[in-house]
Structure 1
């Protein structure tokens, strides 16, 4: 299965992104990333983010680092530019982009979850290695590892001060546990300023790889890899929010 970019949320519906995923929701998560970056033995000043999307993490991280932001969707880059006008933005695919610069850290947030095959995962890791200085850090935040995957349902949304609003239902499920993908179906209700509402369905095909695959891919690309657990945000009824981070030091 090829690398797939969901055609609606990051294209025709990209202008709804700030209401579907408000930047303020990323404050605690970005703080966790900054704390991890700060612990790295080699000081981090410059950061390349692959798959920056709307730039919500960069909005908080740019106060600490010089950020260069790459995304494959021109419309999401436009959203990102409105949030982060002081950052360098580049249109490119995380599997193939090549810049004439190396960075102290390469950061790939949950956009890495759209890598659906091991072949493409290796291409993305090679991109990270190409742009990372010796002793630098690679940091990736897949939504799930194969061992941590669980099906579930989520919902959310918000409104702006012009009368527009979005509400969504998110359904995560795995139609074939024997392959390297799972499915996330979104249902959006989109309210315009005049009160009209319409619905959209958007299917996202996501990649799912084991700890062994992640570690071997990064090691083959030239990193000393590690999988860490980060606690982010407030506790819920199920306990604190725990994320798996795939990290590595460039050798």
Structure 2
């Protein structure tokens, strides 16, 4: 019969290695490099997923604007058709007062110009749908000048921005460079020419930025050319000559 000391040792031995002993878990040692690699891979996948979600959101935003433009163009087409049919009916024209005829023709001309501008914008929106993977690009679209009076001009342009991974929005400034002839001299001028007007030429956009305005040359001056420029700091990002 074992002594008490031996019995105690046997009980400890059974408790440690017998049936009632706690389970032993064998863990394999993994280098910290593998943990770092796995964490980096997860971060890259999450970043890519977020970027694709944002791109899809941009596409939805531009598609919504495009749908609104198409609806507006259809409404203007219907109104133009109605106005043309009214203006071209000899009986109605004969019965109209002169002021009414003038008002109708003025409205017709305004609607035609607005409709043409909207169709240009609609074509631009179709080109603005973001393409994943492309770098950020800014460009000037539809820079037009029309003579409003003897020495006054009206301008209209649209700045389009294609966002990229590193540049989701664009901040810069617009500058108009004018060359006109006065007498025997060719003179250069830039707009804005006053600090108080600089804020109106500041560009901050995620997709597009429209600018319309007027400028006036000295009496008797003849406009030679006009160029629109988009700058970021002192770096020229885009330029376009005006269609006179």
- For normalisation by structure 1, the TM-score amounts to 0.23
- For normalisation by structure 2, the TM-score amounts to 0.24
Which structure has the larger Rg over C-alpha atoms?
Answer: 2
Indicate the structure with greater strand content. Answer: 1
Q: Relative contact order (C-alpha < 8 Å, sep 6+): which is higher?
A: 1
Indicate the structure with greater helix content. Answer: 2
